[in-house]
Amino acid sequence: MKIALAQINPTIGAFEETRQMIREHCQRARGKGCELVIFPELAITGYPPRDLLERRDFIQQAARSLSILVDEIRGIGVLVGTVTENHSGVGKPLYNSAVLFEDGDILATFHKQLLPTYDVFDEARYFRPGPVSEPVYFHGKRLGVTICEDIWNEPALCPHCESYDRDPVEDLFKKGADILVNISSSPFSLGKLELRQNILSGIADRYNAPVIYCNSVGGQDCLVFDGASLCMAPGEKIIARAGQFCQDQVLVDIDARTGQVRQGPVCHEEQVVSALVLALKDYTRRCSIKKVTLGLSGGIDSSLTAVLAVKAMGKENVLGVLMPSAYTSRESLEDAQALAKNLGIRTVTLSIVPVFDAYLDVLSGVFEGLPMDVTEENIQARIRGNLLMAISNKLGHMVLSTGNKSELAVGYCTLYGDMSGGYAFISDLPKTLVYKVARFVNQKEGFIPERVFEKPPSAELRPGQTDQDDLPPYEVLDPILEYYMEQRLSPLEIVEMGFDEETVRRVVSMVDRNEYKRLQAPLGPKITVKAFCCGRRYPVAHAYRPI
């Protein structure tokens, strides 16, 4: 049997557009002699629809889309993810479902059994867990159909996942499944590609059967879906693989154990570039945003943001704003100008000196007798944020904030200042990763001046300032942040790994007391295992102090 994996990029709620996408993939697969085409989880609605699932009209439109496709598509079987209603009167009103249909008839409907409620997932809010399912006989094969989390039940591989009291995969093979099919909308994070492949390979080996995995692709708010759909055979053999971070359709012949295999996994730096570019492309397209604006400081963060923005939007749609102060170095201005010239983007220069002087004059009575401190530094950052937002309002551009994850983690950022914007483009990249990704990009294109990599990072808000005046070196800070926030280790456990206790406790304190800032930050794409914008849910007001 020949099967097509249709790795599509649906927009949430764009029912007509998605139907046309599905039709085109079915026609293409049918023309290549396929008997079945498989689409991702919740392909008809888009993923994750969140509280749109509480709207009756949204559910009705999803049902109508499925009905239209069932009536229209002929000559090929279709397995597609959608929402179906729970009419039992018990539990949540919806199921997360996969529907198999052919030539006008619905052959089987499968419901997701394991509903994730960790990290970015909150599916128990909307769905009822499905009952144990049965394999379905289709064109001589017994297909065992699962949906995303149904295969994420390997405690050794998924220590941060939930523990479940059932195993849908084992149930299906006990009931005679020949092939396991999994339709997914599995968000990207660094290391996820390898983890998925290990899970799929383990299932194929354990049950001595092929495993078909079809994943969504595209950017949706904070989430990025990387595709990389697969068909695995026992012995860690990949017999079909779709591209990563792109819409694709690949074919697999289950009987011959052959298929189309796209380029394999690339290095993490290239994955980050692809993920961020796709995230910004889709976010701006889906929100009807045509142009973006960002502040260019001459530092590594704004330089990388500008390079990736040009990749996503095109140089004609990116405006760089230079906002020098009395503390801005000549080198920073030169580097920002050189970057803009290399990229071919338009720039404007707006000095903040007269605005800053006006602020100090207006506040002089209130501030009389008090020394200059971080207050005056924050005023400069807020002036810059206000200028960028004024340009956004007047020209209709979206502001890209340029802060990195390390700064956000410890609060080394200014509310209503450098945190201003509509999209926090690199907010899930630790500073050390920013340098790695920027170096990777520069190896090919050389847009970023070499001096940007060499000079100490600085906000340039006071004379001679560098980041390391206020923070540990990033080579020390970033591992501590990872151990505390992503691996959930206690300060004592981190100290036992060899880190200085005073430094660890200072960093942890900074993380905990700056939750209020992060809750007011713009959303940005998730790249690491634990992102602030959508995966971390900590209270702002609490008295807990980690040991």
CATH number for the domain harbouring residue 63: 3.60.110.10
Question: Looking at 34, 35, 41, 149, which residue is catalytic?
Answer: 41
Maximum Cα interatomic distance, the chain, rounded to a whole number of Å:
86
Q: Is 41 a catalytic residue?
A: yes
Query: Which pLDDT does position 537 carry in this prediction?
Result: 81
Domain end residue (candidates: 199, 229, 263): 263
In a domain, 546, yes or no: no
In a domain, 202, yes or no: yes
Domain region containing 474? 272-535
Q: Which helix (H) or strand (E) holds 356?
A: helix 353-367
> Does residue 319 contact residue 289 with C-beta atoms inside 8 Å?
no
Query: Which pLDDT does position 159 carry in this prediction?
Result: 64
String of b and e for 87-123 (b: at least 16 CB within 10 Å)?
A: eeeeeebbbbbbbbbbeeeebbbbbbbbbbeebbbbb
Residues 218, 313 share a domain: no
In a domain, 540, yes or no: no
> Does residue 134 contact residue 175 with C-beta atoms inside 8 Å?
yes
> Does residue 37 contact residue 23 with C-beta atoms inside 8 Å?
no
Query: Which pLDDT does position 160 carry in this prediction?
Result: 60
In a domain, 544, yes or no: no
Residues 196, 345 share a domain: no
Length of the chain equals 547
Domain end residue (candidates: 200, 235, 263): 263
In a domain, 505, yes or no: yes
Cα–Cα distances in Å, from 83 out to 50, 98, 398, 527?
12, 8, 33, 28
Residues 227, 342 share a domain: no
Residues 254, 296 share a domain: no
Question: Looking at 35, 102, 112, 149, which residue is catalytic?
Answer: 112
Residues 454, 315 share a domain: yes
In the chain, the number of structural domains is 2
Residues 221, 288 share a domain: no
* Rounded-to-integer distance, Cα 361 and Cα 367, Å: 10
In a domain, 379, yes or no: yes
Q: What is the mean pLDDT of each run of 10 residues along the chain (547 residues)?
A: 97 97 97 97 97 96 97 97 95 97 97 92 94 94 96 76 85 96 96 93 94 97 96 92 96 93 87 96 96 96 98 98 94 96 97 97 96 94 97 97 95 94 96 97 93 88 81 95 94 96 96 93 93 84 85
Residue type, 23: R
Residues 193, 330 share a domain: no
Query: Which pLDDT does position 382 carry in this prediction?
Result: 97
Q: Any idea what the CATH number is for the domain that residue 498 is in?
A: 3.40.50.620
Residues 278, 239 share a domain: no
Residues 31, 151 share a domain: yes
> Does residue 82 contact residue 97 with C-beta atoms inside 8 Å?
yes
In a domain, 545, yes or no: no
Domain end residue (candidates: 204, 228, 263): 263
Residues 331, 253 share a domain: no
Query: Which pLDDT does position 4 carry in this prediction?
Result: 98
| Structure token pair of residue 540 | 């702002």
Strand stretches in 117-208, DSSP E = 136-138, 141-147, 179-184
Query: Which pLDDT does position 157 carry in this prediction?
Result: 72
Residues 137, 33 share a domain: yes
Question: Looking at 26, 34, 35, 148, which residue is catalytic?
Answer: 148
Q: Is 148 a catalytic residue?
A: yes
Query: Which pLDDT does position 161 carry in this prediction?
Result: 65
Residues 448, 343 share a domain: yes
In a domain, 547, yes or no: no
| Structure token pair of residue 525 | 């794409």
| Structure token pair of residue 269 | 């730096």
